[in-house]
Amino acid sequence: MIRLNNLHKSYGIGSTSLHVLKGIDLHIGNGELVSIMGASGSGKSTLLNIVGILDTYDEGEFILDGKVIKHMNETQAALLRNQYIGFVFQSFNLISFKNAVENVALPLYYKKVSRKKRNIMALEYLDMMGLKDWANHLPSELSGGQKQRLAIARALISKPKIILADEPTGALDSTTSKEVMEIFKEINKTGITVIIVTHENEVAMSTNRIIRLRDGLIEHDNLTPEMLKQHHNVLLTTQSN
Amino acid sequence: MFDIDKWQEIFATISKNKLRTFLTGFSVAWGIFMLILLLGSGKGMENSVHIQFDKRAKNAIFLYPGQTSKAYKGNKTGRQIQYTNEDLDYIKESTKGIEFSSGRYYISNNAIVAYKKEFAAMDLRAVHPEFIKIEKVDMTSGRFFNTFDLQQFNKVAVISKKAKESLFKNGEALGNYITVSGVPFQVIGVYIPDNERERDAKTLYMPISTAQRVFSGFNILHNISVTTGNATEEQSKAIHERLKNIMAKRHHYDPSDTQAMFSYSALEEYIQLLSLFAGIRLFIWIIGFGTIIAGIVGVSNIMVVVVRERTKEIGIRKAIGATPWSIISMILQESIFITSLAGYIGMVLGIGILEIVAKNVRTQFFVNPEADLSVAISATVLLILAGAVAGFIPARKAAAIKPIEALRDE
């Protein structure tokens, strides 16, 4: 589904250049539930944005479902995003003046689905997320967990092949985080590839494959929960000393 | 093609951002509203001048005798000049380009006019039949006197509708005899006086020949007026000069003696006023254009702010599949819709207020203000286009931002 070969990305900051991704080689197959971990600045969000075609890369190769994603204009990128990818963000990124059903239905508007049909579908997805009673509420009237479930419903409604989640539990408490992760697992069971960027071990451990980035490179792929725990303990010991 | 779904999306956005919509629309509506008021006010002033000039022939020249202020060929200063019937006859015969002419003989103001037991004080004006071609006298019934009446010294009178109502109440005036300073005159016509000038309602017209004979006026004329037909401004000026010279020669005074004769040309005055109004119109247009520019700047500013404010929303929309063009067209359509609606509201309000003012305000200097609809529509279209451009530039910029950068915007 996703193949990255020797991927490089730099950002220009003033006169200097920050080399964020320094040659990523990665393959994520169909229906995988993957988490990407790493310290701040390791490049995990940049990697997710490139995979989500929200950002471009400088060197290397990115192949999505057999298509080389390179030199793409914004219109082509938008169409691919709409076809393949659903996004879930830490800050939810809901449109504040649209109610729940309108927010969920919005991706279908860009897929030229009729208003009536997209509203019916939006209500179905809200129901799936347990938010049917909140359909006419604005995002500001919802709790953090509800907002994230709403964002997940929006990501799912266009039936994407991949869900990309950037710190989806970052703004949630532990109970709500677990609920959200359960939802991701359920989504993954339907065959959708789910890639979650997180810095939380609990979140990572509930995925099937853990990738750790360090300084723009993959430090570990297929990190087992035990290795993660061990690494976590080492970190805790280092911090307490 | 009309895309109802797109419009529903646009209306949903507009209805949920009322303040933003109001602010965008207000500058447009205000611009158009002020432009229409300005144009209408200018037109109101211009109309009043046209009405004033419509009361008399625009090509009329009026000559009034005065008192000499310069000694000339043995004549001392301070000599009173008096025009006579012969002066008018001479002018008519010797001056090319004269269309109509009339002398005036002012008998008295507040003369007693009576019919049976009803009395009224009236101003007696004795004129030639062609007077009606020089100064507007709107006949409501009967007729104005003619050359036959003039030649026959007929004692006939034309009175105002107000005078008729005063003397005859609801009875018939035409054919009946009234006494003017004790002399019987037959009423042959009734005219409608000018609403604004009460004095006009008191005026009684009679043939000048009759008046000169009955009221011992000999052959005196208190003024002479002529019209110059289709003469151009230059030709009219030449006739005016010629008349001045004729009268100076006939009455033996220095042609440069400005006190011996007072005269003015309605055409020259009219053209001067037209050029003044052209200036006023230009001034109004400059102000109106300034208002439009202010409206355009206002719309542009608001659109820049609106798009800036919506950067994150644009990022979200792009992340979930919106193409750059769908973003641009959404903002453009919103902008065009708001400016069109606001422009229309401003136009309707402006025209509505002008209508109310036109019905309720009528003074000598301000009559029937009206805005040229084609100008109002053109200005509205201009603002709509400006609004579209004002929306397009920031929308294109926003649509070109990478979605990830737009999403980072706070």
pLDDT digits (tens, 9 = 90+) for B48-101: 877 777 777 788 999 999 999 999 888 889 999 999 999 999 999 988 889 999
Q: Which residue has the higher pLDDT, A230 or B402?
A: B402
Q: Which residue has the higher pLDDT, A157 or B334?
A: A157
End-to-end CA distance of chain A: 44
B82 and B237 in contact (C-beta within 8 Å)?
no
A193 and A187 in contact (C-beta within 8 Å)?
no
A26-61 pLDDT tens trace: 999 999 999 999 888 889 889 999 999 988 899 999
Confidence of residue A90 (pLDDT cuts 50, 70, 90): confident
Q: Residue B342: its pLDDT value, please?
A: 87
The answer to whether the Cα torsion of B297, B298, B303, B304 is positive or negative is positive
Distance CA A171, CA B132 (A): 93
B242-275 pLDDT tens trace: 999 999 999 999 999 989 999 988 888 888 888 8
Name the residue among A74, A106, A115 with its Cβ closest to that of B8: A115
- Please check whether residue A82 touches B, CB under 8 A: yes
Instruction: Report the greatest alpha carbon distance in chain B.
Output: 106
For residue A193, with 0-12 CB atoms within 10 Å meaning exposed, 13-18 middle and 19 or more buried, which class applies?
A: buried
- Please check whether residue A78 touches B, CB under 8 A: yes
- Please check whether residue A79 touches B, CB under 8 A: yes
Distance CA B63, CA B83 (A): 9
Q: How high does pLDDT run on average in chain B?
A: 85
B375 and B39 in contact (C-beta within 8 Å)?
yes
B312 and B407 in contact (C-beta within 8 Å)?
yes
User: What is the least distance, in Å, from the CA of A222 to any CA of chain B?
Assistant: 28
For A52, the domain range is 2-240
**Which has the closest alpha carbon to A22: A9, A31, A13?**
A9
CB pairs under 8 A, 24+ apart, for B280-288? B280/B42, B280/B45, B280/B46, B281/B42, B281/B46, B284/B38, B284/B39, B284/B41, B284/B42, B287/B38, B288/B34, B288/B35, B288/B38, B288/B39, B288/B379
Cα B50 off chain centre by = 4
Q: Is the ipTM of this complex over 0.90?
A: no
Q: Residue A199: its pLDDT value, please?
A: 85
Q: Do B326 and A110 touch (CB under 8 A)?
A: yes
Convert chain A into a string of H (helix), E (strand) and C (coil).
Answer: CEEEEEEEEEEEECCEEEEEEEEEEEEECCCCEEEEEECCCCCHHHHHHHHCCCCCCCEEEEEECCEECCCCCHHHHHHHHHHHEEEEECCCCCCCCCCHHHHHHHHHHCCCCCHHHHHHHHHHHHHHCCCHHHCCCCHHHCCHHHHHHHHHHHHHHCCCCEEEEECCCCCCCHHHHHHHHHHHHHHHHCCCEEEEECCCHHHHHCCCEEEEEECCEEEECCCCHHHHHHHHHHHHHHHHC
A178-190 pLDDT tens trace: 888 898 899 899 9
Let me know how long chain B is. 410
Angle A221-A47-A74 (CA atoms, 0-180°, nearest 5)? 145
A212-227 pLDDT tens trace: 999 999 988 877 767 7
A92 and A139 in contact (C-beta within 8 Å)?
yes
For residue B116, the SS3 value is: coil
B299 and B390 in contact (C-beta within 8 Å)?
yes
Residue B79 tokens, joined: 């000599």
Q: How many domains does chain A have?
A: 1
B67 and B259 in contact (C-beta within 8 Å)?
yes
Q: Residue B410: its pLDDT value, please?
A: 60
Distance CA B154, CA B211 (A): 10
Distance CA B278, CA B280 (A): 5
CA dihedral A165, A166, A169, A172 (to 10 degrees): -120
Confidence of residue A233 (pLDDT cuts 50, 70, 90): low
- Please check whether residue B397 touches A, CB under 8 A: no
Binding-face residues of B in 342-371 toward A, CB within 8 A: none
Q: Do A114 and B321 touch (CB under 8 A)?
A: no
Confidence of residue A136 (pLDDT cuts 50, 70, 90): very high
Angle A39-A41-A45 (CA atoms, 0-180°, nearest 5)? 90
Phi-psi region of B111 (alpha: psi -120 to 50; beta: other; left: phi over 0): beta
Query: Of A87-96, A226-235, B114-123, B147-156, which range is least confident?
Result: A226-235
Q: Do A56 and B321 touch (CB under 8 A)?
A: no
- Please check whether residue B240 touches A, CB under 8 A: no
For residue B144, the SS3 value is: coil
For the cut 80, the answer to whether the pLDDT of residue A228 exceeds it is: no
A101-119 pLDDT tens trace: 999 999 998 888 988 999 9
For residue B184, with 0-12 CB atoms within 10 Å meaning exposed, 13-18 middle and 19 or more buried, which class applies?
A: exposed
Confidence of residue B145 (pLDDT cuts 50, 70, 90): very high
The mean pLDDT value for B269-291 works out to: 83
CATH number assigned to the domain comprising residue A66: 3.40.50.300
The DSSP annotation for B350-387 comes to: HHHHHHHHHHH--BTTB------HHHHHHHHHHHHHHH
- Name residues whose C-beta falls within 8 Å of residue B12's C-beta, 6 or more positions apart in sequence: A98, A102
Name the residue among B8, B320, B407 with its Cβ closest to that of A107: B320
Name the residue among A54, A74, A94 with its Cβ closest to that of B324: A74
**0.90 exceeded by pTM:** no
The mean pLDDT value for A10-18 works out to: 83
Helix (H) or strand (E) holding B138: strand B138-142
For residue B79, the SS3 value is: coil
The mean pLDDT value for A76-82 works out to: 86
Q: Residue B186: its pLDDT value, please?
A: 95
Question: Using a CB-CB distance cutoff of 8 angstroms, which residues of chain A are in contact with residue B404?
Answer: 49, 54-55
- Please check whether residue A20 touches B, CB under 8 A: no
Which of A46, A72, A95 to probe the B interface (max B CBs under 10 A)?
A95
- Please check whether residue A11 touches B, CB under 8 A: no
The mean pLDDT value for B313-333 works out to: 86
Q: Do B399 and A102 touch (CB under 8 A)?
A: no
Confidence of residue B370 (pLDDT cuts 50, 70, 90): confident
Distance CA B85, CA B89 (A): 6
